[in-house]
A and B are shown apart, each in its own frame.
Chain A
Amino acid sequence: MAERLLDVRHLHTSFFTHLGEVKAIRDVSFHVDKSEIIGIVGESGSGKSVTSLSVMGLLAYPGKVTEGEILFKGEDLLKKKKREMRKIQGNQISMIFQDPMTSLNPLFTIGNQITEVLHTHKKMGKAEANERAVEMLRMVGIPSPEKRVRSYPHEFSGGMRQRAMIAMALSSEPDLLIADEPTTALDVTIQAQVLALMKELNERLGTATILITHNLGCASSICDRILVMYGGKIMEEGTTEEIFYEPRHPYTMGLLNSVPKVNGEQSKQRLVPILGTPPDMLHPPTGCPFYPRCKFAVKACASMDVPEFQLSGTHRVSCFMCHPDAPVKEEYEKQKGGIRHV
């Protein structure tokens, strides 16, 4: 069995706003093994970014983890002091963000912002850090890195900036990289390049990666396992194959139906949207957060907390449709094939 790197257990994170407590994440558990890539997929407001910020210890006021454990190499990050966390941030766990245009400080050179990490965490001298920065830029595929290391962020294109962000994040050789929507702000072709780069670096350096995205396609292209989040809860977790070919949660099915198909007969069909809107997290529905939009909802969905059904060693689903006594619905059965069903 692979070594456990990160183990998040029953995490609850809330934002204490003047309107009341917004429960952004409710009882989220997942793990990341060494060197694997997992994807966290969900629409806006599903809690995927909050999950990553909670792990990083970067929740800004008024956000707070209210319950749970985040075990990183067996140690609970939530029990660490700020100073101890700083030794982990950027060193053992690195993070890259959605918008590379605004995530780099405009007043400092790319090189400066990379070497800063090395000075802080690796106690490297100037020359050594600079050399390493050049090497990192070369590794992420930036042409003539000796020159580019002295460039400012505004002299880079969006894709190059995200590459520079990745170089910065990986320069300290972290065990875990959290990529929060790293390709959302990029062109589609650049998206593919950045994802390919992340996959390549994962294979080369063995850095475990959490890819947070709202795009199932992105996740499928590089992830070993996928978590589907909705309304602050994990709806379904499985290997990429399980999620795509054996989805069991109606929300996952809905997401798959809303992905455009590019070839064959399917490409001529209209996309099927998921009707309704995401839940108001200030007053989240009891029971399953998805039931108001769910075609297969039964009474229990609205009133009871949905238990998790373990379907295989890697596949778990929070849906009553997976209960042995659940009513058989033809349409649900039909969609069990995932993207194969159509």
Chain B
Amino acid sequence: MIRYIIKRVISAIITIWFIMTLTFILMKAIPGDPFSSEKMADPVIIENIKAKYGLDKPLIEQYGKYLYDYAHGDFGISYMKKGLTTNDIISSGFPYSLRIGIWASVLVLVLGIFFGIIAALRQNKIIDRVLMILATLGATIPSFVFATGFLFVFSKILGWVPSFGVDNWKGYIGPVIVSALFSLAYVVRLMRTSTLDVLNQDYIRTARAKGLPEWKVMGKHVMRNAILPVVTYIGPMFAALITGSFVVEKVFGIPGIGNLFTNSILNRDYTLIMGITVFFAVILVICILVVDILYVLIDPRIKYQ
């Protein structure tokens, strides 16, 4: 087991290095630079600015410094936000996105698994049909529609939640629900399908033939098998949810990291783009790693070697 984890960590590090290199190459390959749109005619000033950020050095040297700094957790200084480092900017935005993401994930897992099983047990009955229609709506209606709809109903008409910002916990309700909807719709479907599949397995018939009480058949034999596909999905889902959504953060006025990322791209803030990209990549790789380890613990058929 330990050996397996070490092996996976090493391969995770290689993955991250690969993503970093790719990001670096892409950033250098796009024509133009952060300062090309500045209204500074004087080439001397531009040269000076470039020299300040080390952009005048050979690419290989820039690449080496980039890897070295990142390995030490230093993501560099922002080109566009004067006096702020990338680390400052990420740590100012990430907590909001993280909080929303964690709660949204909890919501997705609890409700998704619960309703998925309900739908499977009542296959083709009214409750199943209703849940499947809702799941289709949840997966197809874009989040800005949900977000504005939510604000319209709960903020404008009912006045229960603030229309902007996250000054108190009420401000989180909307973002959490709206962020969760898409994944929730997906997990309900996934859980329904896998539960139906498991219910038809021979070992469930064996479990019933053993005269086990229904809660044990469902809770032990069905659940543990049916949840496997959902576990696989948890990794990427959790990573996506805690890294924030631009749309949700924009509509609800949250200074989260999704918003920052989009702005950094619009501003061509190289260091910030690279910093956030690598940060996201690390989060995704860690989430997937955790899920893989979890999977081994749940399913004995998966070999660690």
A→B interface (CB under 8 Å) = 56, 58, 60, 85-91, 94-95, 97, 99, 102-109, 116-117, 120-121, 152, 154, 165, 168
Contacts and interface: CB of A to CB of B under 8 A. Distances in A.
A106 B211 contact: no
A85 to B, nearest CB: 8
B225 interface: yes
Contact of B224 (A58, A107, A116): A107
Nearest to A91: B211
Contact of A116 (B201, B208, B212, B225): B212
Interface string B98-125: 0000000000000000000000000000
Interface stretch (B44-52, B135-143, B271-279, B294-302): B294-302
B203 interface: yes
A96 to B, nearest CB: 8
A89 B201 contact: no
Nearest to A88: B211
Contacts of B32: none
B203 A90 contact: no
A89 B225 contact: no
Contact of A103 (B206, B212, B301): B206
B300 A117 contact: no
Contacts of A168: 210
Interface in B117-164: none
Interface of B: 201-203, 205-213, 216, 220-221, 224-225, 298-301
Given A107-B300, A154-B301, A102 B210 contact: no
21 contacts: A56-B209, A58-B208, A60-B205, A85-B211, A86-B211, A87-B211, A90-B210, A90-B211, A94-B209, A94-B210, A95-B206, A97-B209, A102-B201, A103-B202, A105-B206, A105-B207, A106-B203, A107-B225, A117-B210, A120-B210, A168-B210
B295 to A, nearest CB: 11
Contact of B300 (A95, A102, A152): A152
Contact of B205 (A58, A106, A116, A117): A58
B197 to A, nearest CB: 12
Describe B's contact surface by its main secondary structure: helix
Given A87-B211, A116-B210, A120-B216, A107 B299 contact: yes
Given A102-B201, A105-B225, A154-B300, A89 B210 contact: yes
Contacts of A107: 224-225, 298-300
A253 B212 CA distance: 42
B209 A90 contact: yes
Contacts of A106: 203, 225, 299-301
Contacts of A104: 203, 206
Tell which of B211, B216, B225, B299 has the most Cβ of chain A within 10 Å: B211
A14 B238 CA distance: 48
Given A58-B208, A102-B202, A86 B301 contact: no
Nearest to B301: A154
Contact of A152 (B202, B224, B301): B301
Contacts of A120: 210-213, 216
A95 B209 contact: yes
A89 B213 CA distance: 11
A116 B208 CA distance: 12
Minimum-distance CB pairs A-B, first 9: A89-B211, A90-B210, A90-B211, A102-B202, A105-B203, A86-B211, A95-B209, A152-B300, A103-B202
Contacts of B299: 106-107
Contacts of B210: 89-90, 94, 116-117, 120, 168
Given A103-B205, A106-B299, A116-B212, 18 more contacts: A58-B205, A88-B211, A90-B210, A90-B211, A97-B202, A97-B205, A97-B206, A103-B202, A104-B203, A105-B221, A107-B225, A107-B300, A108-B220, A108-B221, A116-B216, A117-B210, A120-B211, A120-B213
Contacts of B216: 116, 120
A97 B208 CA distance: 12
A91 B209 CA distance: 9
Contacts of A99: 202
A103 B210 CA distance: 12
A104 B201 CA distance: 10
Nearest to B208: A58
Contacts of A102: 201-203
A244 B111 CA distance: 61
A105 B205 CA distance: 10
B212 A90 contact: yes
A80 B121 CA distance: 23
B56 to A, nearest CB: 59
Contacts of A121: 211
A101 to B, nearest CB: 8
Which of A87, A99, A104, A107 has its CB near the most chain B CB atoms (within 10 A)?
A107
A105 B201 CA distance: 9
Nearest to B203: A105
A184 B116 CA distance: 36
Nearest to B222: A105
Nearest to A121: B211
A89 B203 contact: no
A90 B221 CA distance: 16
Contacts of A58: 205, 208-209
